[in-house]
Amino acid sequence: MPEDLKEYFEKLTRPSVRNVAPYDAAPISEPKIILSANENNAGVPKGALEAMRAALEKGNRYPDSRNTALRKKLAARFGLAPEQIITSNGLDGMFTMLSRAFLDKGDEVVCGECTFGVYASNAAIAGAKVVKVPLSAAFEQEPAKFAEAVTPATKMLFFCNPNNPTGTLAETAGIRAMLGKIPRHVIVILDQAYAEFSGADDAEPFSLLKDFPNLMICRTFSKIFALAGLRVGWGAAHPMLIDCLYRVREPYCVTAAAEAGASAALDEEAFLSETRTRTAEEREKLSAVLKERGIRFVPSRANFILMFPGEKGDALRTALEEKGIAARFMTCRGMPAVRLSIGLPEENKEVEKILRSL
């Protein structure tokens, strides 16, 4: 683009957006094995596929704008009221809604120093200041430290649990204690995209909603439910908080096919159980190989592991690329790191071979 046009569009762009980098989840390529986006490599559940095919036959009609059937099903599953639930175009869409509804220039947003990057980018776009809370020596997010980071200017706080990309899990008791110390003018978002992999009680966190009207718990169908390409997220909170989000929510942001697939996926208990068991077993196998090879890593409660290959980093990247394996290379606490999703057993064996060859 000619330099004069670049300058022209930069001037048109809002000041808070000019220094925001576009979010690119992973390079667009055709790898043989994808372990870069924490997806469920088992594929879409059969029941969800059938439900989506049926929904496509009515694709000429708009979907229910509030996805009432799906919200009722989620409410029954977790002991909530449908009015406490809102759906979104993936959790990225949920976080955008939260930013639109609550953030203004000069507000502060608290999040972890090594966590999902969309929290900070949305805050920057809104003109808010981002306050990052350091990880512990064990790469854990400490709820008490998050509460200490809150100031009178804080408007929003994000706590990813299990945390992406470290995979660590804070217990619900610690989250409750944190919430008790945070003033009600702060909207607290508990991002639980990976909760179903943690081994903890899946429904326990929702008990917090009774005592904290400023809390929102977010979940997704992109991970264990294997619907990443359908983009269905959802959140639970006080009905008045939900009402604020509906004011800025894009109409029909969850398609009829996506809603049908998500609703059917909730019934795939065997698929979900198999995924949990397989992921836990494969995670332990990969952890054992990393220990054996002396590669530092963070013990995970999610469907991925964050490792620090050190001087073996270049060799690891080259070996993965040669085998057509996509991984996520990043920096955490100033150190080069690699986040590897837990794939299928045959996929993980290829990774283990590479690690043993380094």
Q: Are residues 330 and 342 in the same domain?
A: yes
Is the pTM of the predicted complex or chain greater than 0.75?
yes
For the segment 170-180, the average pLDDT, to the nearest whole number, is 98
| Residue 3 pLDDT exceeds 70 | no
**Angstrom distance (rounded) from CA 290 to CA 338:** 12
Q: Are residues 243 and 94 in the same domain?
A: yes
Is 186 domain-assigned? yes
- Count CB neighbours of 278 within 10 A: 19
State the pLDDT at residue 24: 67
Q: Which of 201, 205, 243 is nearest to 85 (CA)?
A: 243
Task: Give the CA diameter of the chain.
Answer: 59
Q: Last residue of a domain, which of 266, 289, 311?
A: 266
> Model confidence at 15, in pLDDT bands (50, 70, 90)?
confident
Q: Which of 310, 302, 312, 342 is nearest to 115 (CA)?
A: 302
Q: Are residues 262 and 131 in the same domain?
A: yes
Q: Are residues 202 and 304 in the same domain?
A: no
Where residue 117 sits, what CATH number does that domain have?
3.40.640.10
Provide the residue range defining the domain that includes 185. Answer: 47-266
Q: Are residues 152 and 209 in the same domain?
A: yes
Q: Are residues 307 and 225 in the same domain?
A: no
Helix 313-322 and helix 345-357, axial crossing angle in degrees, nearest 10: 140
Q: Are residues 218 and 275 in the same domain?
A: no
Is 55 domain-assigned? yes
Q: Last residue of a domain, which of 206, 232, 266?
A: 266
Count of residues making up the chain: 358
How many domains does the chain fold into?
2
| Residue 265 pLDDT exceeds 90 | yes
The pLDDT tens digits of the residues spanning 194-223 come to 999 999 998 999 999 999 999 999 999 999
State the pLDDT at residue 19: 80
State the pLDDT at residue 213: 98
